[in-house]
Amino acid sequence: MVRLFDATFMLGTVLVVVALGLAVAAVARDDLPLVGTGVGALIAVAVIGMAGCAVGGISQAPVAGWTSPTIILGIVLGVLALVVVAAGVFGWTGVLEPVAQLVPGQAGTVVPARVAIVALGALIAVKWLIATAMAAVAK
């Protein structure tokens, strides 16, 4: 089981911080070095976030059990994150509409990739909080 201050948890946390920092930068700026805008930034946030989850999160499942409520919640949130990424990449504005009001600069028009980055950042943060709680109570 991953513990709060072991190397695995810390590496996962660093990747989550990088993913969330990139998400904030992508929403705040029009263009980012290396990843560009829109879909490129969304995919970069998704890949880094998935790496953080793979390092610090999925390793909990074999120990806690695949039917543990926290593992099931993590899986559901992970699938939801994949739907959000697909919605941002393919422009499914209907899926992203509920989040659009929370995104700065979305007056009237929904930019799918930008809304998806905000939603994905929120999901990454929630999954990290769940992983942190699991690591804090690990024996």
Helix (H, G, I), strand (E, B) or coil at 110: coil
Instruction: Provide the CB-side half-sphere exposure for 129 (13 A, CA).
Output: 8
Helices (H), the chain: 7-28, 39-56, 61-64, 69-90, 93-100, 112-136
Structure tokens given for 78? 């992970």
Of the candidates 131, 139, 134, 135, the residue with the CA atom closest to the CA atom of residue 49: 131
Structure tokens given for 135? 């690591």
Structure tokens given for 74? 């993590």
Report d(CA 133, CA 138) in Å as an integer: 9
Contacts of 10 (CB under 8 A, 6+ apart): none
Structure tokens given for 104? 């700065």
Per-residue pLDDT of the chain (139 residues; tens, 9 = 90+): 667 778 888 898 999 999 999 998 888 887 777 777 788 999 999 999 999 888 876 666 777 777 888 888 888 999 999 999 999 999 888 888 888 877 766 555 668 888 999 999 999 999 999 888 887 887 6
pLDDT at 110: 66
